């Protein structure tokens, strides 16, 4: 990978503990140019010419200090398309786990979900098994869960609004369910959403999901289909997710971001955000906090 490169250091917006001396120390060690502060005490970047051999060790050391480090090629950082997972990415919950809790099988389903998201189980088979445990649940529970259990990941509204204001197309693509993605997409302002459909009969969940299941490959297909439709190269796509079913789109997109991801997922991604929130995806594109937009 040829330079020049840009290093972005960022931390939790709640903690705001990015020390200027830390930024300057790394900048000097890597022969970087002057530091540009994107947000005081929270995010800064600098350019440098050659990828250093100690990059992995520096990343590990900064993680212990609560600081994320993202190193990219300096060119083409601002993306023209956002492809985002929903559960544990744009929202803070796993919707199927919340439904299962209402059905009295929460702990069992949550265990299956965790194993599937870490790549220990086949996603499609795990989804079929979990949905089967919801058979007979009143469909109105979906609206109850949406109203009382679902909370949004910090920074999501700013991420979507800012990228859209700068000409990007935004898509929410989930291995979850359309009954949730429709509302989440509308609330956050996504242009499009794709997900699985829960089968309902006589006001009850049947325990089945409509086929074909939207899993790992379907997320890759969404990336390809939508970028082709928009006439964009895949290098212009930023994808974000946390689970094993996101790996296909994360590794194929121009920038794939593992956000607070499962260990098996983070290990396969170059861009990992463990301390920042969704605004980190703006910082690594070079947006300053003063440029953030929030429409809702």
Residues with catalytic annotation? 85, 87
Pairing of strands 67-73, 5-11: antiparallel
Neighbour count for residue 287 (Cβ, 10 Å): 23
Do 69 and 58 meet the contact criterion of CB atoms below 8 Å apart?
yes
| Helix-helix angle 95-103:140-148, to 10 degrees | 120
Least Cα distance to 82 among 74, 90, 91 occurs for 90
Go through the chain and tell me how many residues it has. Answer: 296
DSSP-assigned beta bridge partners for residue 44: 9, 37
Least Cα distance to 73 among 50, 56, 42 occurs for 50
**Token pair for residue 61?**
């050391």
* Residue written as token pair 């309902």: 200
Distance CA 32, CA 19 (A): 17
Least Cα distance to 265 among 80, 79, 57, 89 occurs for 89
Distance CA 245, CA 106 (A): 21
Pairing of strands 237-241, 255-259: parallel
């Amino acid at each position: 990978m040829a330079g020049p490169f840009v290093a972005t250091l960022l931390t939790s917006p709640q903690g705001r503990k990015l020390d200027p001396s830390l930024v300057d120390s790394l900048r000097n060690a890597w022969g970087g140019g002057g530091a540009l502060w994107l947000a005081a005490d929270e995010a800064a970047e600098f350019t440098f010419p050659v990828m250093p051999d100690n990059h992995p060790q520096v990343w590990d050391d900064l993680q212990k200090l609560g600081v994320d480090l993202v190193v990219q090629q300096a060119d083409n950082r601002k993306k023209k398309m956002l492809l985002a997972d929903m559960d544990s990415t744009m929202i803070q919950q796993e919707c199927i786990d919340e439904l299962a809790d209402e059905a009295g099988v929460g702990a069992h389903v949550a265990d299956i979900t965790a194993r599937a998201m870490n790549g220990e189980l086949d996603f499609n088979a795990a989804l079929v098994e979990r949905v089967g445990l919801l058979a007979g649940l009143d469909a109105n529970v979906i609206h109850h869960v949406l109203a009382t259990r679902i909370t949004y990941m910090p920074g999501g509204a700013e991420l979507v609004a800012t990228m859209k204001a700068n000409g990007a197309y935004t898509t929410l693509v989930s291995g979850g369910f359309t009954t949730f993605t429709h509302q989440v997409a509308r609330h956050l302002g996504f242009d499009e959403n794709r997900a699985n459909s829960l089968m309902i009969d006589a006001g009850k969940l049947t325990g089945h999901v409509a086929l074909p299941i939207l899993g790992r490959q379907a997320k890759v297909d969404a990336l390809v289909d939508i970028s082709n439709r928009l006439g964009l190269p895949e290098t212009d796509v930023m994808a974000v997710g946390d689970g094993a079913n996101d790996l296909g789109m994360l590794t194929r997109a121009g920038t794939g971001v593992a956000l607070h991801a499962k260990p098996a997922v983070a290990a396969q991604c170059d861009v990992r955000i463990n301390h920042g929130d969704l605004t980190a995806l703006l910082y690594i594109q070079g947006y300053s906090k003063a440029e953030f937009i929030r429409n809702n």
